[in-house]
Chain A
Amino acid sequence: MLKIKNLHVEVDNKLILNGLDLHMGTGQVHAIMGPNGAGKSTLGYVLAGRDGYQVTAGSIEFMGQDLLAMSVEQRAIAGVFLAFQYPVAIPGVNNSYFLRTAVNARRVARGEQPLDGMSFMRVLREQAKLLDMDAKLLQRSVNEGFSGGEKKRNEILQMALLEPTLAVLDETDSGLDIDALRIVSEGVNRLRSTNRSMLVITHYQRLLEHIVPDVVHVLADGKIVASGGKELALKLEDQGYAWLQDERESRQAS
Chain B
Amino acid sequence: MTELLEQLNPPQTAALHAAQRAAANQQLQRLGLPDQRSEAWKYTPLRALSTMQFDRSDSIPETALRQLAAALVEPPDQAADDPTAIIVIAGDQCLLVHTPDWVQSMAELLRTDTDTATGLLQPDAQVREQASDSFIWMNLAQCNNGVMIAVPPGMKLDQPLHIVYADPAAASQSQAAASANHIRVHIHCGAASAVTVIEHFVHAGTSFSNIYRSMEVDEHASLDLLQLRAAGDAAVMIEHSHILQQASSSCRLWALDTGGRLSRQEVRCALQGKNADFAHHGLLLGHGRRHMDQHVMAHHSAGDCRSRQLFRSVLADKSRAVVNTAALVGSGADGSDVQQHTASILLSANAEMDAKPQLEILADEVVASHGATIGQLDDDALFYLRSRGLTTAQARTMLLRGFVQTVLDTLPEALRIAAVERVVAAQLEMLL
Contacts and interface: CB of A to CB of B under 8 A. Distances in A.
24 contacts: A48-B383, A49-B387, A73-B386, A73-B389, A73-B392, A76-B386, A76-B389, A77-B389, A88-B381, A90-B381, A90-B384, A90-B385, A90-B399, A90-B402, A91-B406, A92-B402, A92-B404, A93-B401, A98-B385, A101-B394, A101-B398, A102-B389, A105-B389, A109-B389
B406 to A, nearest CB: 5
Contact of B403 (A51, A77, A81, A91): A91
A4 B402 CA distance: 37
A87 B384 contact: yes
B388 A92 contact: no
A84 B403 CA distance: 22
Nearest to B378: A88
Interface in B144-182: none
B386 A98 contact: no
A248 interface: no
Given A76-B388, A84-B384, A105 B404 contact: no
Contacts of B404: 92
Given A93-B401, A158-B388, A72 B383 contact: yes
B131 interface: no
A158 B389 CA distance: 11
B129 interface: no
Contacts of A109: 389
A233 to B, nearest CB: 27
B281 to A, nearest CB: 14
B381 to A, nearest CB: 5
A220 to B, nearest CB: 26
B390 interface: yes
Nearest to B387: A48
- Contact residues of B: prevailing secondary structure: helix
B379 interface: yes
Given A105-B390, A105-B391, A162-B389, A93 B399 contact: yes
Given A73-B389, A76-B389, A77-B389, A93 B384 contact: no
Interface of B: 378-381, 383-392, 394, 398-399, 401-406, 409
A102 B388 contact: yes
Nearest to B392: A73
A82 interface: yes
A164 to B, nearest CB: 10
Contacts of B380: 88
A73 B398 contact: no
B405 A92 contact: yes
Contacts of A88: 378, 380-381, 383-384
Contact of A105 (B394, B401, B409): B394
Contacts of B379: 51
Given A92-B405, A105-B391, A72 B386 contact: yes
B64 to A, nearest CB: 39
B383 A93 contact: no
B249 to A, nearest CB: 30
Contacts of B386: 71-73, 76
A71 B389 CA distance: 10
Interface in A66-107: 71-73, 75-77, 81-82, 84, 87-88, 90-93, 98, 101-102, 105-106
A71 B394 CA distance: 14
Nearest to A104: B389
Contact of A92 (B378, B385, B387, B403): B403
Given A51-B379, A84-B384, A101-B394, A92 B389 contact: no
A72 B398 contact: no
Contacts of B387: 48-50, 72-73, 75-76, 81-82
A51 to B, nearest CB: 7
A51 B406 CA distance: 29
A88 B388 CA distance: 12
Given A73-B390, A102-B388, A105-B389, A50 B383 contact: yes
B403 A73 contact: no
B383 A51 contact: yes
A162 B387 CA distance: 11
Given A93-B405, A162-B389, A98 B383 contact: no
B401 A73 contact: no
A157 to B, nearest CB: 12
B394 to A, nearest CB: 7
Nearest to A97: B398
Contacts of A73: 386-387, 389-392
Interface in A100-131: 101-102, 105-106, 109
A141 interface: yes
A164 B184 CA distance: 62
Contacts of A102: 385, 388-390
Nearest to B402: A92
